[in-house]
A and B are shown apart, each in its own frame.
Chain A
C-alpha cells in the first residue's frame, strides 16, 4: 500500500471545440520523482496548470486530493500555500535583480515594514546550500546562464516550503552538463523528502531519474510505469505515439557530395556590447548535398557563428573570408543573405522565428513576399495555393492556413518555421536546434524532410544541435564548437558521443 501525496482523479477539461483532457488520472507517491511524458499537445501542460490552480476549481471536472485532503485551488497562490510549486519553461525571474532578491521576490523578509536585507542574504545563502553552494547570491540573474537560473528558481521554490515541485521541461534549454547537474539536484531534493513531477521530452533522462512514469496521449492516460518493472525508451515511445519507432533516425541513402558551396576562413566575430570575440578564427566548409552538424555546449558560440554568417543582424564586428556559391561574399543584412540563397531557422521559434499573431499563410510567405507581388499588390491566390502546398507537403496540422500560428502546437509551429525558409528555395539552410521542444513524431518528420532536401533537392544543411544523438544520427560531418572556436572536426564514421564531448569541453 503506497502513500500518495497527490491524486488527481478523472480530470476532464474542455477548451472551445477541443477536449484537452479526458478523465486523466495521476497518482504521485510521497518522496518520488514522477515523470509525466507525452507528445506536444497531449495535455501535460494543461494538467499541470489545473494542479497549480492556473485553471481554477470549477473550470474543469474531477478531483484533486493533496496530502489526503480534497483541494479546490482558485489561484496559483492557493496551490503554493499548501506546498505545490511549479517552475515553468519560461523562467519567472527578474533579470535585473540579484539572486537573493529574486529568491525572496513576492515573500520578502521584513523587519517591521522594511525589507531586512541582511537576513535576506543570509537566508538565500542558507537555501542555496542545499542546491548549489558556490553560487554568488549578489550577482544579477541576467549574468547567470540558463542552468544557474533554473537553480535560482528551485531555490525560490524551496523558500516557499515546497512539498511537491513541478518542473516543466527544465532541461530543454540546458546543455548536457547543466542538465545532469539539475537532475542531480532533483535527486538530492528527493532525499530531503521533496516530491517532484518532472515533465520532459528527453526520454533518456526520464528513464534515468524516474521512480514512476505517467504517459499521456491525446488527453488520456495511456500508461503508468513503475521503476520496479523496468523502463525502456522504446516502450515509452510506443505508448506516447501509439506505435513503435524502430529507429528515431530515418534510413538514408549512400550520399555523394558535390563541390564546396560554402566556406569560411579565419572567420571572427566581435560582440561590441559584450566586449569580446564570440567567434574566433573559425574555418569550415559545407559541400553540396551535405548535412553538417555543429555541436557544442550552450554558449559556445554556435548561434553567434550562424548569425554572423546570416547577414550579421547583431552587428558584430566581423573579420575573415566567406565564400558562398562560388563567390566571395560578406552579407550586410539578412535580406542580402536570403537573396543569395542562405536561410537561417532561428533556435527560438516563438521569440525570433515566427510572428505569432500572423496566420500560417503569412508566416510562410514573409521571407519572399516580393515573389508574390503582381503590379502593386500581393497575389492572394498564389499565396494561398503556395501555403496550401506547404501545409500538405510538411503535414502541418492546422484547421486552416488562416489560423494564427499562436494556436498551433510546437511541432507544427516548427514546421511553419521551416516552410517559410523552403519557400525561398535556399542553397544552404542553417537549422538552429530544429527539434527543440517538439515531440518524437514531429522530430521524425523533420529528420525525414532534412534527408529529402539534401538527397533529392541538392540542398546543403548546417544543423546546430545540443542533442548529441541527433548530431550523430543526422550529420555527414561534424564540427564541434567550444569557447567561440572550432575545436574539432569529425566524420560520420569516426564520431562518438565521447569524442564530441571531449572536444566540446576543450578550451
Chain B
C-alpha cells in the first residue's frame, strides 16, 4: 500500500473521529480568509479561548450527564446565580479564597440536589433541571433586584477571567513560560502516544504503521505547539484557558483511565446490566450531577470574573450552548458514547463560529440560524458515520 492510499484508508476509517477537526479547520480557514487574517491573529486566538472557557467547562460536565442518558437544563441559571452570590460576597469584602470555596460548595450542593431528584425520587432529569432552571433564574432576579448589576472591585478575582499567567523574566518579546509549557504538553502527548502504541504492539493489536504514526505525531504536535507559540507572542496563557485545559485533562483521565469513569460509561451503555454487575447506579448518577454542579460553579466564576460584574441575565442560554457543544463533539443521547476532549473541541467549534461571525459582522439573528444549522449538520454527520464505522 502506498502512502496516499494508506492515508485515504485511515481517513475513511476514522472519518467520524477526524470529522470534527476537519470541520474546525474548515471554519477557521473560512474566517481567516473573510477577515484577511485577523481571525488567526494572536490577539484573537487568545480572545477566542477566553470566550470559550465558561461554555467548555460546562460542556465537559454535560458530556457525562448525557452519557448516562440524562440532561441538565439548570446549569445556565445556576451559573448566573452563583456568580451573583460571589459578586455580593466580594462586594462585602469577603476574602477571595473562601468566596470561591463557598461558590464551588454551593454548586456541588445544587448538583447533588438535581442528582437526588433524578436518582432517588425518580424524576425525569429534563423536568427536575427545567424546574431548577426556572427557580435559579428567579432567584438571580430576586438577588439582583435591589442592586441591579453588581460590580466587582476585587482585581485578583477579575484576573481569573481576564488575566494571564505570570512569566519568568527574560529578554524576548515572547511569553517564555507559555512556550515552555507548550513544549512540555507536546512531550507528554508524544510520550503517552508512544506508550499506548508500544503496549498495543505487545499484544498484537492493530496500530498505525510507523510512518503514519510519526506523521500523526508531527502533525498534532505542530498544531499544539503553534497554539502555544501564538499565545506566547501575545500575553501568554490566560487563567481561563489554563483552568479549562486542566479541567479537561482531569476529566479526560477520569473518564478514560479510572474505574469510576468506566462505571459511568457502563451505566450509560446499559443501566440494567451495570446494576447487575454490581455498579451502584444511584451513586454514579449522584456523582455525575454533583460534578456538573461543581463545573457549573466554576463556569459561573469564569463568566462573572470575565464581565467583572454580576448581571441579572448572566448565564442565559449557557445550558443550550453547552449541550450543543457536547453534541457537536459527538456525544450520543442513546447513552454510553461521548468523549470529554471531543466536547471541548465541540465548544471550540461553536466559539469559533460566534467569534468569526462577530468579526465579519454577521447580525445576531443570522448567527443563531447558522449555529442551529451547524448543530444539525454535526449530529447528522455523526449519525451517518456511526452506522458505517464498526
Identify the A interface with B (CB < 8 A): 16, 310-311, 313, 333-335, 337-339, 344, 346, 351-358, 362, 366-370, 372-373, 376-378, 380-381, 384, 388, 400, 402, 404, 407, 420
Contact = CB atoms under 8 A, between A and B. Distances in A.
Top 9 A-B residue pairs of the complex, sorted by shortest distance between their CB atoms: A335-B278, A355-B269, A352-B272, A377-B257, A369-B259, A338-B278, A355-B270, A334-B278, A357-B269
Given A346-B276, A357-B269, A377-B258, 11 more contacts: A310-B276, A333-B280, A344-B276, A354-B270, A355-B269, A358-B266, A366-B263, A366-B266, A369-B259, A373-B259, A376-B257
Interface in B363-389: none
A356 B275 contact: no
Interface of B: 199, 203, 205-206, 253, 257-259, 262-263, 265-266, 269-270, 272-280, 336-337, 390
A346 B273 contact: yes
Contact of B257 (A334, A378, A407): A378
Nearest to A344: B276
Nearest to A352: B272
Contact of A358 (B253, B259, B269, B276): B269
A369 B337 CA distance: 19
A369 B263 contact: yes
Contacts of A388: 203
A420 B273 CA distance: 12
Nearest to B203: A384
12 contacts: A313-B276, A333-B278, A351-B273, A354-B270, A356-B269, A356-B270, A366-B262, A368-B278, A369-B259, A369-B263, A388-B203, A407-B390
Given A335-B280, A358-B269, A377 B253 contact: yes
Nearest to B204: A400
B277 A334 contact: yes
Contacts of A377: 253, 257-258
Contact of A367 (B203, B205, B257, B277): B277
Contacts of A354: 270, 273
Contacts, number: 85
B206 A334 contact: no
A82 B274 CA distance: 44
Given A335-B279, A344-B276, A378 B258 contact: yes
Nearest to A380: B199
Contacts of A311: 278
B330 to A, nearest CB: 14
B258 A400 contact: no
Nearest to A402: B205
B390 A355 contact: no
Contact of A404 (B265, B274, B275, B390): B390
Nearest to A421: B277
A311 B259 CA distance: 21
Contact of B276 (A16, A352, A368): A352
A313 B276 CA distance: 7
A362 B259 contact: no
A353 B276 contact: yes
Contacts of B390: 16, 404, 407
B259 A370 contact: yes
A310 to B, nearest CB: 8
Nearest to A383: B262
A419 B390 CA distance: 23
Contacts of B205: 400, 402
Contacts of B262: 362, 366, 369, 378
A387 to B, nearest CB: 10
B171 to A, nearest CB: 41
Contacts of B206: 400
Contacts of A373: 258-259
Contacts of B275: 313, 333-334
Most chain B beta carbons < 10 A, residue from A355, A381, A407: A355
B348 to A, nearest CB: 26
Contacts of B270: 352, 354-357
Most chain A beta carbons < 10 A, residue from B206, B269, B277, B336: B277
Nearest to A417: B273
Contact of A366 (B253, B272, B279, B280): B279
A338 B278 CA distance: 7
Nearest to B265: A358
A321 B367 CA distance: 66
A17 to B, nearest CB: 10
A352 B275 CA distance: 9
B258 A351 contact: no
A324 B259 CA distance: 28
